[in-house]
Amino acid sequence: MTWTRQEFLADVAGTGVLAPAYADDVLVRLAHHSTAIEGNTLTLSDAITLLVDERAPVAGTPMRELYEVANHYQALARVLRAISSNEPLTTGLVRDLHSALMDHLTHDHGQYKTASNIVAGASWRPAPPDRVPELMLQWADQSEWQTANLDNEALLEAIAGAHIAFERIHPFSDGNGRTGRAIIAYQTIRRFGFPAIIQVAQRPAYLAMLDAQDTPALTRLLAVSLADEAGRRAAT
């Protein structure tokens, strides 16, 4: 793996954004749920074994699945560094998150797609490659203003709408879902102090929300997640 737990914890301590024990908890759950939504077969217990104990959880596990989970060391650390330094939401940050999440998984990690792609089962088609740079600049400018200036329900609605818009652009050849959910973590930790984590059990409803562009429903899902997370952080 490209990062170790020691490197992750050192980065977390350097930012001061999350307490180490809570950062561990967020790391494991974000890595597990976000990758499981995409079909990764590692369980939550497996993610703990890999990320906390630094041991391969199951003999014969494909390397791809291990990297998909372990790359969240880098991604969450990048999120926390951005928040610590008051870094705005830019296309550069988005590409950094994609680069971290797709390290050892794609040859073009951190780079926009150069060929058209599709989303299996979706009723819509992603933006064509030649429009991605322009659309992402517009998306980042709007999302940053909303993240910085809105509050409460209006903020959550903006985060939900931005996530749907990001997935519709689908700027990368692969890893768009994981990157989009890492952006949600950045936005919610930045403004609330803890993340909204979409759970794999919510996958069917979540995908339906994306397909239907149902911003109100996704807003409610994020609100429930944040309410649960507030209690979890207090108990960690």
In the annotated binding site for ATP, the residues are 174-181
Please provide residue 120's backbone torsions phi and psi, each rounded to the nearest 5 degrees: -60, 130
Active site residue 170: yes
- In 3-state terms the chain splits into helix, strand, coil percentages (rounded to 5) of 65, 0, 35
Q: Residue 7: enclosing H or E segment and its boundaries?
A: helix 5-15
Judged by phi (left if over 0) then psi (alpha if -120 to 50, else beta), residue 73 lies in alpha
Active-site annotation holder among 33, 72, 109, 170: 170
Short-list 24, 18, 40, CA closest to 177 = 40
Short-list 7, 15, 23, 2, CA closest to 69 = 2
Short-list 149, 152, 154, 127, CA closest to 138 = 127
Q: Coil, strand or helix: which one is 17?
A: coil
> Which amino acids are annotated as binding site, given as ranges?
174-181
Looking at the annotation, which residues are catalytic? 170
